[in-house]
Amino acid sequence: MDAHRLLQQSTEFIKGVGAARAALLARELDIHTWEDVLYHFPFRYIDRRTFQKISEVHVQLGMVQLCGRLRDVVHSGTGRGQRLTAWLNDGTGEIPLVWFQGIDRLFGLLKLGQEYVVFGRPVAYRDELSMPHPEITPRDRFLEQGAGLSLYPVYPGTEKLRKNRIESRFFSQTTRFVLEKAHAGVSDYLPSEIRAHHRLLERQKAMWGIHHPQSEREAFESRHRLKFDELFYLQFGLVHNKIKRQSGSRGHRFGLVGEMVNSFYTHHLPFSLTEAQKRVIREIRSDMGTGRQMNRLLQGDVGSGKTIVALMAMLLAIDNGFQACLMAPTEVLAVQHEQSISELVRNMPVRVALLTGNVRAKERRALLQDLQAGEIHILVGTHALIEPPVVFAQLGLAIIDEQHRFGVAQRAALWAKNNPPPHVLVMTATPIPRTLAMTQYGDLDLSVIDELPAGRRPIMTRHVLDRQRLSVFQFLREQIALGRQIYIVYPMIEEGDDEQMKYLMDGYESVSRAFPVPDYQVSIVHGRMKPDDKQMEMQRFAAGKTNIMVATTVIEVGVNVPNASVMLVENAERFGLSQLHQLRGRVGRGAEQSYCLLMTANEPKGESIRRIEALCSTTDGFKIAEIDLQLRGPGDLTGTQQSGMLDLSLADLRTDEVLIAETRRAVEQLLSQYSDYSKPPLSLLLMGYQAQKSRHKNWGEIS
Ligand code: ADP
Ligand code: MG
């Protein structure tokens, strides 16, 4: 069998694996083939040239290497309860080495007083350290073999695998087996000029070197090469798609600035636009005027005024005879968008409609009919918009608000709603660090609203403790007396969580007691309420009929009640940083001084204190996003699970900014030089891309 085919075989056929362990690997780590084994990379190495002092060993170290003499060897128990214990002493301390199998053979071999090198994982039982089943080699032999010269790779694994003795040593052995038999199957599609220019190892060498490095340098260079490929092909897909769309000239040309835009601008605009809003509108207009499809990411911190920009873009589409849609991540937000847009255009001949999962069948049918007949100009909704029965007469512009709840796949579903595809504007309130902009959104053009409307006062943010609750409530009363409104938000990580639900209801009760009717009105909104009830409560709060809104994070995104001036976050330590920033963004939307109070039960520890400090120290969303990226990594940054994001196995958006920029430049250069995908180098790179994509579930398709 040739090496490529070998790599596609089941792990069952690796020496020392077999059916049971193969099944376990598949279940625990999604490792099925020989090739999958190679792509299970070590995350660090243990230097086998050095020895740990026994006095400094603890379980958190994982694998450790020790050197000492055996003080005593004892064979105890009978039958299955047999064990062999050898006490290793290195002068700093002593640790028992324990075996439950292969006892007879070892018992004969181990010599008291002799020096041994021992390698294994210490465990603790009732504070007593021991080391089960270590590798043990007489020191002379260890030195002779040169075993002391190499680095020992440490692989990620699971508790279950460890129990079945599938750990680093296992992966080290299986990768060696696979590479010895089939390393020729590891293909390198990168042009040699690129390899030379970036001083990259050959891919086969790198695959050896990441699993079996002889030196730190080799380990580093091998990882670098494989990481380069990962980022390079990611950029290849992104830049390819971007160029394709830009040059494809398949896009509506919105050449006309007509009645809608003009009359809105002169008669209905409720305030004057900020310079940043004007600039962004110009960028969008010029995109949509070229006849190429727009794919633009609009970044603007919470409260920067993205809605009006979206509306102006939609009016431009209508002026040119097209429909537009606006997709929001939650029902609450969709409803609110629909209302505020309807309000803004109420004296204009523009028909706005709302479509969510809760629109009733009869209404829905009528709505879909009107939509298809072109009688609805602007359709606002949730992801119900991308479902197949939703057919537009002529969709010219699709806007996605608060993109971070949507994946790349949903974006693609919108493109498919019309032929040629609609212009796409993605709006996000989570400022995006450079590395994320180059990866997650690397196929989009970028516009930034970097200015808040005039007259906004920075929100004052304070950390308060639960025991200060009385004075906090007093402060809330003062604010209410001034005519302002209050949000009190409880964590609800999972909407179905009973314990959190109880906590929320307890909170609601105690707030209701502290703010009793008829002097105060308190609303509550959470995910388990019926949409209509939720809507009604939101409505009452927005209309100023209630003073306090007790809620979960359902109000996190986008909700706009300018009269609300205090955001009190309960158990603030449970929220992520950008989540807190989003929540804070719900206040400070009017001209009044606003406050954000982050309440915790006790003095918080660890990362939560850093999050709270970060929030108290700045209101700059960009700084917060950077800190968040550093603290939590990109997966959590946007509040989605890793699964919704690009997955990267080697690269780290926190630390690989330079390499990301470098690979992007390399790809841009190549794609400006070559365009024929049937010939090298692009034909090869396409294969390299496909190979990488098959290992990264959330990469976009090259089209
Ligand atoms: P976001 O960018 O968070 O979606 P919105 O579009 O909801 O922000 O706008 C936040 C608030 O600021 C709204 O009440 C909106 O009417 C107001 N606003 C937007 N632009 C301006 C402006 N140029 N001048 C004054 N107020 C503005
Ligand atoms: Mg918004």
Whether the predicted pLDDT of 700 surpasses 80: no
What pLDDT does 635 receive? 46
d(CA 691, CA 525): 47
Closest CA to 233 of 561, 616, 571, 667: 667
Average confidence (pLDDT) over 381-386: 90
pLDDT mean across residues, the chain: 88
Residue type, position 258, single letter: G
- pLDDT 10s digits, 295-323: 898 988 878 899 999 999 999 999 999 99
Average confidence (pLDDT) over 441-469: 89
> What are the start-end ranges of the E strands in 544-698?
548-551, 564-569, 595-600
Whether the predicted pLDDT of 395 surpasses 70: yes
Closest CA to 534 of 554, 506, 507: 554
Whether the predicted pLDDT of 640 surpasses 60: no
Q: Is the CB of 157 under 6 A from ligand 1?
A: no
> H or E stretch including 468?
none
- pLDDT 10s digits, 581-632: 889 988 988 888 999 999 998 888 888 888 999 999 998 888 888 888 888 6
Q: Which region among 153-167, 377-391, 641-655 has the lowest average model confidence (pLDDT)? A: 641-655
What pLDDT does 68 receive? 96
Q: Whose CA is nearest to atom 20 of ligand 1?
A: 305
d(CA 61, CA 95): 15
C-alpha 359 to ligand 2 mean position (Å): 22
Q: Whose CA is nearest to atom 17 of ligand 1?
A: 305
Residues in the chain: 703
Q: Is the CB of 304 under 6 A from ligand 1?
A: yes
d(CA 615, CA 622): 12
What pLDDT does 122 receive? 92
- pLDDT 10s digits, 57-112: 998 888 899 999 999 999 998 888 899 999 999 999 999 999 988 888 888 889 99
Q: Is the CB of 273 under 6 A from ligand 1?
A: yes
Q: Which region among 436-450, 477-491, 629-643, 666-680 has the lowest average model confidence (pLDDT)? A: 629-643
pLDDT band for position 183 (cuts 50, 70, 90): very high
Whether the predicted pLDDT of 639 surpasses 80: no
The bound ligand whose nearest atom lies closest to the alpha carbon of 300 is 1
Q: Whose CA is nearest to atom 26 of ligand 1?
A: 453
**Which residue has better confidence, 499 or 268?**
268
Domains (range + CATH), the chain: 49-149 (2.40.50.140), 203-248+652-701 (no CATH), 259-288+305-428 (3.40.50.300), 460-618 (3.40.50.300)
- Pairing type for strands 128-132 and 123-125 reads antiparallel
Percent of the chain with pLDDT over 90: 55
What pLDDT does 641 receive? 34
Inter-residue contact 528 to 537 (CB < 8 Å) = no
Whether the predicted pLDDT of 637 surpasses 50: no
C-alpha 518 to ligand 2 mean position (Å): 33
Closest CA to 598 of 588, 582, 584: 584
Inter-residue contact 293 to 420 (CB < 8 Å) = yes
Average confidence (pLDDT) over 208-231: 95
List strands edge to edge, sheet with 323-327: 352-355, 378-381, 323-327, 395-401, 423-428, 295-300, 445-449
What pLDDT does 405 receive? 54
The bound ligand whose nearest atom lies closest to the alpha carbon of 403 is 2
Q: Which region among 232-246, 634-648, 677-691 has the lowest average model confidence (pLDDT)? A: 634-648
Q: Is the CB of 428 under 6 A from ligand 1?
A: no
What pLDDT does 642 receive? 35
> H or E stretch including 362?
helix 361-372
Q: Tell me the DSSP string of 82-106.
A: -EEEEEEE-SS-EEEEEESSSHHHH
Q: Is the CB of 271 under 6 A from ligand 1?
A: yes
C-alpha 567 to ligand 1 mean position (Å): 18
What pLDDT does 636 receive? 42
Inter-residue contact 414 to 424 (CB < 8 Å) = yes
Q: Is the CB of 305 under 6 A from ligand 1?
A: yes
C-alpha 522 to ligand 2 mean position (Å): 25
d(CA 686, CA 701): 11
- pLDDT 10s digits, 138-171: 998 888 766 555 788 989 888 889 888 898 889 9
Ligand 1 pocket: which of 268, 560, 581, 619 to mutate (most atoms <8 Å of CB)?
560
Ligand 1 pocket: which of 589, 592, 619 to mutate (most atoms <8 Å of CB)?
589
Percent of the chain with pLDDT over 70: 94
Closest CA to 59 of 120, 118, 134: 120
**Which residue has better confidence, 633 or 701?**
701
The bound ligand whose nearest atom lies closest to the alpha carbon of 588 is 1
Q: Is the CB of 383 under 6 A from ligand 1?
A: no
Which atom of ligand 1 has the smallest separation from the CA of 308? 6
C-alpha 453 to ligand 1 mean position (Å): 7
Average confidence (pLDDT) over 390-412: 78
pLDDT band for position 338 (cuts 50, 70, 90): very high
d(CA 449, CA 284): 12
- pLDDT 10s digits, 271-287: 999 999 999 999 999 98
